[in-house]
Amino acid sequence: MMSSLTGALYGALIVYLGGWFVGAWTGNFSLLLFVLTIVTLAYWLAERFHFRPARQAAAANLEQQDTTRRAELAKLGIEKVDGDVQEAKHKLLMQPWWLDWTAGLFPVILIVFLLRSFLFEPFKIPSGSMVPTLTVGDLILVNKYHYGIRLPVINKKIVDNNPVQRGDVIVFRYPPEPWVDYIKRVVAIPGDEVAYIDQKLSINGQPVPTVSKGEHYDDESLSYAPQFAEKFGETEHMIRVDPKRLGGYGPFPKRFPYADNCRYAPDGVTCKVPPGHYFVMGDNRDNSMDSRFWGFVPDQNLVGRAFFVWMNFGNLGRIGAFK
């Protein structure tokens, strides 16, 4: 019975992962990892307190029966007895496959779940919206506790930590589709009035300092565009601006929470950031679907602070910390 149940569970897992892979539905890895942790924990507890003691009792009973049999034969003068129960005992003590592939995996899954939920989570950069800071194919690490400790799956903050600062690169749940993770740079925090007019960023009426750094070549679009060093406080990072793509601003979707805080014009947008929200933009300013179009990021949508490229199979030189 347990073998059939375990086979059915593995079948359901394969169907779920297969549908996710081919795009039949959107998967939720956090929820999947949580469910796997609970299921393997149940098997681990059952193994520890029921199945393993039952196997040990059966093996001990077999050994006791063999000892009794040999003693009775010895009384009859028979000293040499055929048969060795050790192999049978070993088979009785062996963990069946359905426990080996469930209870046996629990410690590994638990460690991955705890690391991913509370410490660090890996992500892959899928688009060029953060060029030149991050490129397509970068595998990055996100610090999950930098802004506070959150409960897995529901993402509710239970312990506060560092505040979000202008210039931070964050991973967050995309407000129009919270099951999708996005990565952008925070350019304005609660209470700020942010404006992006004629491809120039200003906060509370003050232009954000920028210095021209020549041109940047983008491998994805196979094009050159001016790049600038942009500075928030002491934090400096690079941005890419395409003068050929000036204009075309407007909210998408047309309405979003606190949409009345934004004023749109052909040359840009000005927004007042509401409490508990952030205004984010991609470093590839003219190739980024960000807060200019779909609104503010609520604090409860934060996943963590991105800080390190741990691998890029196409360019190993990109490994390292980034600003």
With tokens 């952030």, the residue in question is: 278
* CA distances to 82, 102, 148, 168, 284 from 76, in Å: 15, 49, 76, 86, 92
Q: For 216, how many CA atoms within 13 A lie in the half-sphere containing its CB?
A: 26
Q: Is the predicted pLDDT of residue 46 greater than 70, yes or no?
A: yes
Question: Range with the lowest mean pLDDT among 220-229, 281-290, 294-303?
Answer: 220-229
Q: How much is the pLDDT for 81?
A: 64
Angle between helical axes of 29-46 and 106-118 (0-180°, round to 10): 140
Mean pLDDT over 77-89 rounds to 75
Using 50, 70 and 90 to split pLDDT, how confident is the model at 22? confident
129 a catalytic residue = yes
Instruction: Give me the percent of the chain exceeding a pLDDT of 90.
Output: 67
Catalytic residue among 30, 184, 288, 291: 184
CATH superfamily of 122-321: Umud Fragment, subunit A (2.10.109.10)
Domain spans in the chain, listed from the N-terminal domain onward: 2-113, 122-321
213 a catalytic residue = no
Catalytic residue among 30, 89, 117, 129: 129
Cβ neighbours for 287, distance < 8 A, ≥ 6 positions apart = 128, 129, 131, 221, 240, 242, 245
Mean pLDDT over 265-273 rounds to 92
Q: Is the predicted pLDDT of residue 248 greater than 70, yes or no?
A: no
